[in-house]
Amino acid sequence: MQITGEADGARFPIPFPCATRRARAEEYILTQYHFAALVLIAIGPLLALSRLIRMPESLLLFAMGLLSAFIPGLPEPNIDPDLILTLFLPPLIYASTVRVSWHLLRFTLLPGVVLGTILVLTTIGAVALAARTVFLPGLSWTAALLIGIVASHAPVP
């Protein structure tokens, strides 16, 4: 198959695929909006596949995200964290809350709250101990505990 091109008013055949088209394809940059659209398009079939093979949706989405990191030729996406928080997280949370089993929630709420509280208190203590003994010897326990509180509640960028 051949297409024609023009140079200085003269028409000439260009073999398909042409070097110009290949150069344009190499210059294509996957923007964060293109990446977000591709991810949103892939979520629906993946959720249907998870029901078909009876696998938890979150596990399948995580596995596919992990596998997509190894696809050769994809540029590294630089995605704004606010885009993820406003575009991807609400539909996933909504889908999870619609299908919640109240029976299961009733039996797992208390252990979840207790374990979460224990982990937060353990993190506060470990960071306070490390701050007082390793990083800043001579620091008061009050200041070390404040550092532990801030570190246990600070979001990781």
**Mean pLDDT in runs of 10 for the chain (157 residues)?**
47 48 53 75 87 88 84 71 81 82 88 93 94 92 94 72
Compute the distance between CA of residue 134 and CA of residue 137 in angstroms, rounded to an integer: 6
Question: Helix and strand tally (H, E) in the chain?
Answer: 7, 2
What are the structural domain ranges in the chain? 2-98, 102-153
* Two tokens, residue 130: 């490390």
Compute the distance between CA of residue 137 and CA of residue 130 in angstroms, rounded to an integer: 9
pLDDT value of position 68: 79
Q: Which amino acid is at 32?
A: Q
Give start and end residues of each alpha helix (H) in 15-56: 19-27, 32-52
pLDDT value of position 5: 47
pLDDT value of position 14: 44
Q: Strand pairing partners for 10? A: 7
pLDDT value of position 156: 60
pLDDT value of position 16: 45
Give the Å distances, CA to CA, from 23 to 19, 20, 30. Answer: 6, 5, 15
